[in-house]
Amino acid sequence: MNYPNGQRKTIPVQKTSRNNENNIFSNRGMTLEEDINITNKFYLDTNKAVIHKKPTPVQIVKVHYPQRSAAVITEAYFKQASTTDYNGLYRGKYVDFEAKETKNKTTFPLANIHQHQISHMKSIIEHGGLCFMIIRFAAYDENYFLEAEKLFTFWNDKSEGGKKSISYETLKQESQVIPFTYQTRVDYLSIIDKLYF
């Protein structure tokens, strides 16, 4: 992929393994995005909320046709910088959030977030929406709900020469652990209910 500023980025194809169906409380092998998509489908199917993953705006430039029935995109550009990963409606409120996963055991690097995402999140808050981050520490198979306002504090500290990451221990203190169940693998609505309603 190529960004609008001309930088190239290779996007690796990520392979995931299937869950061991005998152990329903283990989601090892699933990515955070897959788990959130399963959760969102359950929310939609049970008429609890309407929340979807935002498509990434991409402009296709070159396509290779090795066969009539197959097409391979060989060059594409991001049309614009993406904002956050998910948005939708819950209990009459606009919901917008970013989801990030880290393999790091001790910190969540703030380099995983970009200034345009912070600006977008601030706009959502200013207009009365609910905005937050879901952070997965893959090593512990734990998901955390970090309110955008708290994220801004860490971001501002970094911008002023402070820490460039959020420690695992600090995140545990400043955010909410998101419960895991079979149907709602990342049950973030339970945290929204607790914090906002």
> Is the pLDDT at 14 greater than 60, yes or no?
no
Q: Which residues contact 149 (CB under 8 A, 6 or more apart)?
A: 125
pTM tops 0.75, yes or no:
yes
* More reliable by pLDDT, 69 or 125: 125
Structure tokens that stand for 104 in this block: 């790091």
Residue 63 pLDDT: 83
> Is the pLDDT at 115 greater than 70, yes or no?
yes
Q: Considering the domain 32-54+81-196 in this protein, what is its CATH number?
A: 3.40.1350.10
Task: Kindly report the average pLDDT of the chain as a whole number.
Answer: 85
Residue 182 pLDDT: 85
Least confident residue range of 16-30, 140-154, 160-174 = 16-30
Residue corresponding to tokens 């959760």: 39
Provide the phi-psi class of 125: left if phi over 0, else alpha when psi is between -120 and 50, else beta: alpha
Provide the phi-psi class of 88: left if phi over 0, else alpha when psi is between -120 and 50, else beta: left
Tens of pLDDT, residues 20-78: 333 333 444 469 999 999 999 999 999 999 999 987 766 677 888 887 778 887 877 66
Q: Are 176 and 190 in contact (CB under 8 A)?
A: no
Residue 16 pLDDT: 42
Residue 38 pLDDT: 95
In angstroms, the Cα distances linking 27 to 100, 115, 184 are 16, 31, 11
> Is the pLDDT at 128 greater than 90, yes or no?
yes
Q: Quick one: CA dihedral 187, 191, 196, 197, positive or negative?
A: positive
Band of the pLDDT at 81, cuts 50, 70, 90?
A: low
Domain locations along the chain: 32-54+81-196
Residue 67 pLDDT: 79
- DSSP 3-state percent helix, strand, coil across the chain (nearest 5): 30, 30, 40
**How buried is residue 13: exposed, middle or buried, by Cβ count under 10 Å (0-12/13-18/19+)?**
exposed
> Is the pLDDT at 113 greater than 50, yes or no?
yes
Q: Compute the distance between CA of residue 192 and CA of residue 197 in angstroms, rounded to an integer.
A: 7
Q: What is the DSSP string of 45-78?
A: HTTS-EEEEPPP-EEEEEEEEEETTEEEEEEEEE
Residue 23 pLDDT: 37
Q: Compute the distance between CA of residue 110 and CA of residue 94 in angstroms, rounded to an integer.
A: 25
